Structure 1
Amino acid sequence: MAEGLVTDLIKQLLSTAAWGAEQEIRLVVGVEKEIRKLEGNLQTVKAVLNDAEKRQITEEAVKLWLEKLNNVCYEMDDVLDEWNTELIKSAIQKEEEEKNADSALVLKKQVCFFIPSPSCCFGQVVDKLARRHDIAHKIKELDGIIDEITKEKDRYQFQLTNDLSPKVVERPQTTSFVDVSEIYGRDSIKDDLVGMLLGKGSEEESSPHIISLVGMGGIGKTTLAQLAYNDPKVQAHFEIKVWVCVSNPFDQCKVAKEILESIEHQSPNLTALQGLLEKITIKVWGKKFFLVLDDVWMEDSIMWEPFKNALKCCAQGSRIIVTTRKSRVAKVMGSVSVTNLELLSKKDCWSVFSKIAFFDRDPKQREQLEDLGWQMTLGSLMRFKRSREEWKSILDNNLWEFEDVERSLYAPLSLSYYDLSSPLRQCFSFCAVFPKDYVFSSNELVFMWMAQGYIKSKANMEMEIIARDYFEILAMRSFFHDFEKNEDNSKIKKCKMHDIVHDFAQLMSKNECFSINSDKELGSDYKIARHLQLEILKKTQFPESIYNAKKSTHPHFCISKCLRILSLNGDMLKELPDAVENFIHLRYLNLVDYCGNGLPETICHLSNLQTLKIIIGSNEFQKLPQGISKLINLRHFILDFNNCWLNLNIEFPRGFGRLTSLRTLNYFSVSGKDDSNRCKLGELRNLNHLYGTLDINGLGSEIDACDAEHAQLKKKIGLHTLILSFDEWDGEEIIREKDALVLNALEPPPNLEYLSIGMYRGPTMFPNWMMSLNNLKKLYMSNLSLEHLPPLGKLPSLEIVKIWVASSVKKVSVEFLGIEASGKKENDDKITIIAFPNLKSLSFSYLQEWEEWNGIGGEEEDCVRFTIMPRLQHLKISECLKLKSLPNFLRTTPLQKLDIYNSPILKERCKRGTGEEWPKISHIPKTNLK
């Protein structure tokens, strides 16, 4: 942790000084010298931190020295952040003065600012100078403390080193030997693994076939490999069998020597990699070869390439098992099969626990302890605890507080931890602030890491992308588990941290991360907490002792001016106090079930705020503060309506478009009225960094095509989801035509994947841009005044279409299919026309005037062959009271499910065997007619 803190502090010193010079804002006289001295001291300390972090495990004095360094670094970080905030506010004030320079009133204020008088302006100047002097005093004071710490380091005689990955715990060498009687669980996986080893290799199969076992440290990868290696059928199947414990780093020559030594049963006299691999090739040529590479960390495919090429000469059916904690290792080594080891079942865990914990105990004593044992996880710790009171004491405490656990259970995790870079260690350790079994949202974690300052932007790479990479790395290295992924299974949305990993994170962040509730007495340790999650129960008085946690940075409820993250949840959220402006360090603010009618103007003074998330709990919320454009560092503005439909039209103030740092804007409400205080659609023009989802609400009759075009949606190439909501139609024909012009002007980015259009009042929907959406996968259309559906069959990537409430549609015909020759000719020179080539799900609901659905398909006309919806899996028709028939092309679709709800005419005509439409749907495995 110390290395990350010091490195970040040095960077902040340099950037703050540079920005201050750029803005022509100087520190109080003499402080620049203090900052240069501080930077020099920190560079000196940084050079020995690697050795210090290694030695803190065994040397208490070094550990205390590091704790003092951490504390002062945190305090200095707060002070520099105060100064940085002063710079930001000065820059905002300067911009506002320049913007309003032509206003006589503003000009008068400027004169007042530069010629102080006993007015409020003079008071502001005095306050500003006082704050800067206070900051300067703090810098000098902390610089003196760091100077003492720097001098104190000499007494420990630290070694200078360039190695940035201290290996505190060395993993013992593994062998192929195992006592099968001591092993529990994994039987089915072991059988599957043996089956893969014995399976006959095909001619196309790569040789040797690589199988990877991936999972967190201590989960049983090596044991599983040992069981498979020693299986009698496996032993008899292979001519040559080799076990090599690789560990870290991956030494090519060492690995090659061990392979050759195992084959020849003597130490080779070769030293060069070339010679070693040549001899290995000769020995394994044409033979069935089985190699286990245990504990591989290497992620560089170039290091593995020579071995891969040298072993190609093995006989078909040769196998390599790789055990690793990193899924990337399995990938770079070219694994054909990857097994991700999950946690043992409760039954298997109990078998392991009871064998160790109840060793040499009489049956009566075992009976007394079993109920507690089922709630525990550590058999080796309990083996020498004799009484029920001792067992109960351990159950009631955190596992990481026991020294004997630290050295045994956490040894495998220590290896994984110290293999991480310094920023990754910070990100991992921060997770200790959450309670056990907490379900992490990946986005939530990314935003919080950013708020803590763990993520530093790089050239041409966004902070969010770097943080997301960090999350993926921690997930791939098995620090997280129990993953919930998004719909296309490409990204992790949510996950958990295993209890033992959580305990280890607490061990790595002792005295920094705490998670408590208000009915627990706050001890003195919490006063130095850096990250604190405090859960306040309803009708529970706020504990006054929490005021002592001055540096806490992650409470659910906490009064502290040094907060970086604040999440508020509860009945008290009917109003946010004006005093929120005092949280000047705040980067992340989450308001859950917020029931107020708006936010106080003082929230606009939080110039460091990066993420503002509001989960709205009632329809009282109506507007945003007028000064919200001052939040120039805001990157994520999220409005969540808590999964309920609220009739809201939230007022966005004029000037919102100046928040050009925004990356997330999931909801945006516009006004076309001549109101100087309300935001126009055109203010989206410069928000070109937006990504993800954008929901635009309030596309009413006052919005015109010019304003829509000014929004420049097509330049927001990071958006993958766009939701367009028009206002209710009042029946005027001119408005119908106007909506069509507005929709055409709202040209979305070409990479859009999801589009929803609601309350659209135009008579047709065929904007110029629609057929250019080649990546569009999902299309939802609702509350439409259309008379004919657009030619959606032309969209090549469309997978899901939902059409809901289109009361003017009476007929759906070939225009919906978008029939048009593709120019693609088959061997018989016929042109194939494919409509909806990738559509999987189609849904129509509440088309109450719909009578006919016609189409073509399966027919051939002259030189044309028609293929309609060749991948359709699910068709749903609901509340279509007048629909009489289905199109003929359904006969040739691979439909698996048909749902027809409250469509009485169609239901009668689709009855099994007797209905006129039954022949068109008889091939569908599952039909629901209700």
Structure 2
Amino acid sequence: MAETLVSIALQQLAKIMEEQVKLVTGVEEDVRTLKSNLQSIQGVLVEAEKKQFENVPIKQWLDNLKDVSYAIDDVLDEWSTAIVRAQTEEDDFSHSWFESQLLQFPFLRQVCSFLPINSCFACTEFGNRYEIARKIKKLNARLDDIAKERKRYTFKLTEGNEEVNKPLVVTSAIDVAEVKGREQDKTAIKKMLMVESGNRSNLQLQVVSIAGIGGLGKTTLAKLVYNDKDVEKYFENRVWVSVSKPFDEVKIAKSILEILTDAASFFNEFETIMQHIQKLVKGKRFLLVLDDVWEDGPSKWERMRDSFTSASLGSSILLTTRDMSVPGNMGCRRDCLFKLGKLSLEDCWSIFSEIAFFQKNNEERGRLEAIGREIVEKCDGLPMAAKTLACLLRSKQSWKEWQSVLDSEVWELDGLWEKGSETQSGFASLWLSYYNMVSELRPCFSYCSIFPKDHEIKKDVLIQLWMAQGYLRQTPAEDMERIGEKYFQNLAAFSFFEELKKDDYGNIISCKMYNIVHDFAKYIRKNECLSIKVDGGEELRTDSLGKEVRHLRVMLGKEVSFPSSIYRLKNLRSLWVQSKGNSMIGAALPNLFSGLTCLRTLNLSNCNIVEIPSTISKLIHLRQIDLSYNKELKELPETLCELYNLQTLNISWCVSLVKLPRGIEKLINLRHLNNGGFEGVLPKGIRRLSCLRSLDRFGIGHDGEESCTLGDMKGLNSLQGYFCIRGLENVADVDEGKQAELKKKTEVSPLELRFGKGDAEWRKSHDGELLDALEPPPYVQELRVYDYQGSTVFPTWMISLTSLKTLLLTNCKACQHLPPLGQLPSLEFLRIWGMDGIKKVGPEFLGTETQSALVVAFPRLIKLRFVRMRNLEGWADEFSIKRTIMPRLRTLSFAWCPKLKAVPDQMLGKATLQELIFTCSPILKQRYQKGTGEDWHKISHIPNIKVWNFGEKRFLKLLEVHLKLLLRLVLF
């Protein structure tokens, strides 16, 4: 970590020396000395960090260096911010000229108060720079002492930074076929859980435990059992809850209730929650998995256990733990305790060799196999160790590199961890992987310890947090987000992440960390990255946290005041407040903003905040702030626009927020404005934010002087990902569609165009011309069009979207014909909703005028849905011609198509069709009724046929309730 901090400080210094050092008189020499000392230290840090755990003086030396490096970064960042402020806030007045006059004529300082505002600002800046120069001199003296102390130790010099390797291919999901050596263990656990009633004891609820040291794969084994088909059939209800530390009985109970009901729980009282659980499991065979239980669980478990006794005989609790005292304390009998053993050497070798020798030829394998087997012996039967080391060695080709892993002193360091630690062997392999990755990756990995165990980490959020801490440095060739993506892929390739979730296009969107990996990340950060729970009672003492704390997660109990002692943690760089519905955090914000001025990231999501104090401007180092889901927040102060370093502003689902500060154009470094759920319009200053990478909603208002117009997005060509344009019905001049230059925003996808409600006659031509002018980027993969009122939905650019995979056309009521979409070569999912003007699906829908059998219509379409097509009666004869139509179709759905009489035989007869759904389409229901329908024989081969009969109003009501529950689930 010290290596990273020194690197960040040197990068800051390089920028200062290149652009700004001459702006502060008398500091140039100090900056050069600072740089020289840091460079002399940098070369020995790799070895110093490896030796710190066996040598206490070296660790103390590194701690002092980290402390100074943090301080240097703060001062240099303060300096850069002052320069940006000066450049941003001065108008016609020349700031540099005024400062030169101050230096030549000191008496001007006395009349500063009588000068215009920009002149007064110059006076302030002069004072600020003097203070910065003083701080640099002071830090130089501290660093000089540290540099001299370095000479006491015999460190080897290391060469410069390596380039981060190209990301490896990552396989994340648990493949049962790849889990080695656990089949017998799985069978034994199943036998304990599924014992026949007559063979059970008198206990209504049986507790089975998998116990063993970290890294053995207890959670993996439990997942194999949990997802087993026999277990699924045996238990009527199955619930999985990750426990970890602390054992929060209310949180666990709420998780159980939400899984059982498939909806958010609005109860906060433990007894109330358990009463509901008791009713839900009553008379049912129930399996509850409690993963990763620790020593503080058993006493609290007593409060929960009785509520599960209403379940049917045969119900079980399966828990995993590293603490051998936990099973007995939680009521597990000896015959139900499964002590998970280490893997055999051959099973470990099987895991290791499949990964380490991937894409290596026989010659390479033969050269490395002998040393590989020696390395596997070092894994001591731990599958996690074998997998981690295999991922490390997978990219290493030479015998020398493999030998260095085998000969590493890490295996011999008895003092590296406490003797008797249950994770010692697992940590050794992780430690080797950690120090064999390039230095840039290390802080990115260890920062993940700020998240709770089993937390679903959003990839984009994680990258933004890395950016905020300065771990990602933009280059001329790559921006920070791309570098962060590469770092993420590399960490996944090291097997530090699991459960990688992907979107429909194969992009990773989230991950989790293995428990032992999370423990290791916490060990790396130790007292620097902490989580604390505040339930009231005695005031939290700052000295219990330690001055080293830089990153803090605070979990506030209900109606518990924010601990005032935290305001004194002046060096905090990350603060994440989890409030559990606490409405008292708002009162703490003025002191928080005034005291914690070194913050880089601040997460106040879902904290019931009503108002943001103007003192937020004191957080001059802030890069990322999350205010999402504060549903009572009505406005943001103008002073927020003085946060010149701000990179990410998240106001998603602040549903009462109707406008943003007018001075938003000052946020020249803003890269991510997350405003999903924001119903207001954007100020015109948004057009100046050329750094913006993400902007969820671009709202167009009526007032062109105060709010954005469509043309104001012209310069936002760095936008990436999802992008929604709202209020298109407010665009008076259709030429603004071309001014927006949407086509140049090449990395936008999905793209959503919302025209708004209203049936004005002029919109029939207006919307058509505007849609034609809004040509999307050529590589867009998903397009959504809502409430379009033109008579045709076929703009000239539609057929050119050769990468388009998903198309949603919703409430385009005035359209008389479907657009010719059949020749879109990549289209996989098509949903057409609410086109009341369509009576017949004509040949134009196929996208070609020729009827040649050689022309394939919809060559890649997998899902086709028609919804609320109230006047649709049938299909053109062309659909009966022997030609290839939709050769890959798997899902076909019709909902609320009351006049539709039939579906073309050519579509229904496809061997690829796996799912057919009829919802409130009475004629279709009767025609294809099982057994009695005249055309049942045409669909009887389809594996999954669903016929739903609830009315549209009921469906929409259910949909509304479901969406509200989903929103509350996110809020809680």
Deviation at 1:258, TM superposition (A): 7.7
Q: Secondary structure at the match of 1:78?
A: helix
Deviation at 1:530, TM superposition (A): 1.0
**Pairing 1:472-621 to 2, within 5 Å after superposition:** 472-488=489-505, 490-519=506-535, 521-524=540-543, 525-557=545-577, 559=593, 560-594=596-630, 595-618=632-655, 620-621=656-657
**Pairing 1:108-147 to 2, within 5 Å after superposition:** 116-118=112-114, 121=117, 122-147=119-144
Partner of 2:484: 467
Relative to structure 1, the CA distance from residue 702 to residue 120 in structure 2 (aligned partners, 3 Å threshold; closer, same or farther) is same
**Aligned AA (2:836):** S
Match of 1:815 among 826, 833, 844: 844
Partner of 2:890: 873
Relative to structure 1, the CA distance from residue 797 to residue 225 in structure 2 (aligned partners, 3 Å threshold; closer, same or farther) is farther
Instruction: Count residues with an aligned counterpart.
Output: 720
Partner of 1:835: 857
**Aligned AA (1:71):** D
Deviation at 1:18, TM superposition (A): 1.7
Q: Secondary structure at the match of 1:928?
A: strand
Partner of 1:71: 67
Distance in 2 of aligned mates of 1:48 and 1:746: 57
Q: Deviations over 1:54-76 (max 9, x none)?
A: 32121101110000000010011
Partner of 2:50: 54
Partner of 1:895: 913
Partner of 1:801: 830
Contact 1:48 1:159 in 2 (8 A): yes
Relative to structure 1, the CA distance from residue 163 to residue 636 in structure 2 (aligned partners, 3 Å threshold; closer, same or farther) is closer
Relative to structure 1, the CA distance from residue 707 to residue 4 in structure 2 (aligned partners, 3 Å threshold; closer, same or farther) is same
Relative to structure 1, the CA distance from residue 142 to residue 701 in structure 2 (aligned partners, 3 Å threshold; closer, same or farther) is closer
Alignment partner of 1:921 is 2:917: no
Partner of 1:378: none
Deviation at 1:815, TM superposition (A): 1.5
Distance in 1 of aligned mates of 2:801 and 2:392: 34
Match of 1:227 among 346, 351, 364: 346
Relative to structure 1, the CA distance from residue 565 to residue 246 in structure 2 (aligned partners, 3 Å threshold; closer, same or farther) is closer
Deviation at 1:158, TM superposition (A): 2.8
Alignment partner of 1:910 is 2:928: yes
Relative to structure 1, the CA distance from residue 545 to residue 896 in structure 2 (aligned partners, 3 Å threshold; closer, same or farther) is same
Partner of 2:319: none
Match of 1:663 among 693, 699, 709: 693
Contact 1:79 1:135 in 2 (8 A): yes
Partner of 1:682: 711
Partner of 2:676: 640
Q: Deviations over 1:419-475 (max 9, x none)?
A: 111121111111122222222111111110010000112231121111111111111
Deviation at 1:919, TM superposition (A): 4.5
Relative to structure 1, the CA distance from residue 328 to residue 95 in structure 2 (aligned partners, 3 Å threshold; closer, same or farther) is farther
Relative to structure 1, the CA distance from residue 711 to residue 584 in structure 2 (aligned partners, 3 Å threshold; closer, same or farther) is same
Match of 1:844 among 862, 866, 889: 866
Relative to structure 1, the CA distance from residue 95 to residue 883 in structure 2 (aligned partners, 3 Å threshold; closer, same or farther) is farther
Q: Secondary structure at the match of 1:510?
A: helix
**Aligned AA (1:502):** H
Partner of 1:699: 728
Any stretches of 5+ residues in structure 1 without a counterpart?
100-111, 166-182, 191-215, 232-241, 263-290, 298-321, 334-398, 642-647, 823-829, 861-865
Q: Secondary structure at the match of 1:882?
A: coil
Distance in 1 of aligned mates of 2:789 and 2:114: 60
Distance in 2 of aligned mates of 1:331 and 1:834: 44
Deviation at 1:529, TM superposition (A): 0.8
Q: Deviations over 1:539-588 (max 9, x none)?
A: 10111110121111111245410000001034541111111111110001
Distance in 2 of aligned mates of 1:895 and 1:740: 35
Distance in 1 of aligned mates of 2:816 and 2:354: 72
Alignment partner of 1:651 is 2:688: no
Q: Secondary structure at the match of 1:511?
A: helix
Match of 1:35 among 31, 35, 39: 31
Deviation at 1:12, TM superposition (A): 0.9
Distance in 2 of aligned mates of 1:565 and 1:11: 20
Distance in 1 of aligned mates of 2:183 and 2:53: 34
Contact 2:181 2:344 in 1 (8 A): no
Q: Secondary structure at the match of 2:752?
A: strand
Contact 1:805 1:847 in 2 (8 A): yes
Deviation at 1:762, TM superposition (A): 0.2
Partner of 1:18: 18
Deviation at 1:481, TM superposition (A): 1.4
Partner of 2:158: 161
TM-score calculated relative to the size of structure 2 = 0.69
**Aligned AA (1:87):** I
Deviation at 1:700, TM superposition (A): 1.0
**Aligned AA (1:543):** P
Distance in 2 of aligned mates of 1:551 and 1:794: 60
Alignment partner of 1:152 is 2:149: yes
Q: Deviations over 1:769-814 (max 9, x none)?
A: 0000111010111111211110111111111111111122222121
Q: Deviations over 1:594-642 (max 9, x none)?
A: 2222211111111101111112243x2111110101111011111123x
Q: Deviations over 1:169-194 (max 9, x none)?
A: xxxxxxxxxxxxxx97355999xxxx
Relative to structure 1, the CA distance from residue 781 to residue 97 in structure 2 (aligned partners, 3 Å threshold; closer, same or farther) is farther
Q: Secondary structure at the match of 1:905?
A: helix
Contact 2:215 2:426 in 1 (8 A): no
Distance in 1 of aligned mates of 2:792 and 2:396: 52
Partner of 1:104: none
Distance in 2 of aligned mates of 1:904 and 1:497: 50
**Aligned AA (2:657):** F
Contact 1:809 1:847 in 2 (8 A): yes
Relative to structure 1, the CA distance from residue 809 to residue 97 in structure 2 (aligned partners, 3 Å threshold; closer, same or farther) is farther
Deviation at 1:117, TM superposition (A): 4.6
**Aligned AA (2:697):** Y
Deviation at 1:916, TM superposition (A): 3.9
**Pairing 1:67-216 to 2, within 5 Å after superposition:** 67-94=63-90, 116-118=112-114, 121=117, 122-162=119-159, 185=182, 187=184
Relative to structure 1, the CA distance from residue 217 to residue 5 in structure 2 (aligned partners, 3 Å threshold; closer, same or farther) is farther
**Aligned AA (2:651):** I
TM-score calculated relative to the size of structure 1 = 0.72
Distance in 2 of aligned mates of 1:164 and 1:659: 33
Deviation at 1:16, TM superposition (A): 2.2
844-853 or 791-800, which deviates more: 844-853
Match of 1:708 among 737, 740, 746: 737
Alignment partner of 1:724 is 2:759: no
**Aligned AA (1:20):** Q
Contact 1:890 1:920 in 2 (8 A): no
Deviation at 1:482, TM superposition (A): 2.5
Partner of 2:456: 439
**Pairing 1:340-359 to 2, within 5 Å after superposition:** none
Contact 1:527 1:548 in 2 (8 A): no
Relative to structure 1, the CA distance from residue 632 to residue 695 in structure 2 (aligned partners, 3 Å threshold; closer, same or farther) is same
Q: Deviations over 1:668-705 (max 9, x none)?
A: 1113x453121111111111111111100000143322
Tell me which structure has the larger Cα radius of gyration: 1
Q: Deviations over 1:107-150 (max 9, x none)?
A: xxxxx999945256254333222222211111111111001111
**Aligned AA (1:529):** V
Contact 2:349 2:376 in 1 (8 A): no
Contact 2:355 2:387 in 1 (8 A): no
Alignment partner of 1:738 is 2:755: no
Partner of 1:626: 662
Q: Secondary structure at the match of 2:830?
A: strand
Relative to structure 1, the CA distance from residue 113 to residue 913 in structure 2 (aligned partners, 3 Å threshold; closer, same or farther) is farther
